[in-house]
Structure 1
């Protein structure tokens, strides 16, 4: 009986997988390689692209930041994802019609979301 309980507990833990945040953190090294390869004001893709353990809807540069767009927030059209900003902490300065928020994760990485 003890073996069965251990097996069920282990199976439920492994079937859950990693959260998006964990997969992104594990993918930072590959994401940084991509970020450094994108030229000024460049865009890598406007179609889904898998980098590391995460699929991104778009990857693009704006100034000294590279955005990795994951998707939209819920049923709305508000985009969200992750930003590589090695020079400084990103601030909401691009478009007065859009409220951008940035949450520091680690090093040059931030979680980003826009609200229209």
Structure 2
């Protein structure tokens, strides 16, 4: 994953890494591993590391969109999230990353 992020950044693509959905037992581990992957990607991309933005803070924040799925956790990690849960998460995600992304009107 890190190498793909770095390659995309070197090619001029803006890479934004959002917070993962909560509610799974592996949430803390996934969050930690994503931060490590972003750090490695930035080091690999060198001069183009400014194109990689991590939206995963070191300390969990209540403003993160990942708090939506936590209200509706899955019973098992292989189960799909409910459509309503994902819709809520995606709306929160779009609002959360709005400051980092310029979208055409």
* TM-score greater than 0.5 by the shorter chain: no
Q: RCO greater where, 1 or 2, for CA within 8 Å and sep 6 or more?
A: 2
TM-score, structure 1 as length reference? 0.22
Q: Which has the higher Rg, Structure 1 or Structure 2?
A: 1
Higher strand share: 1
TM-score, structure 2 as length reference? 0.24
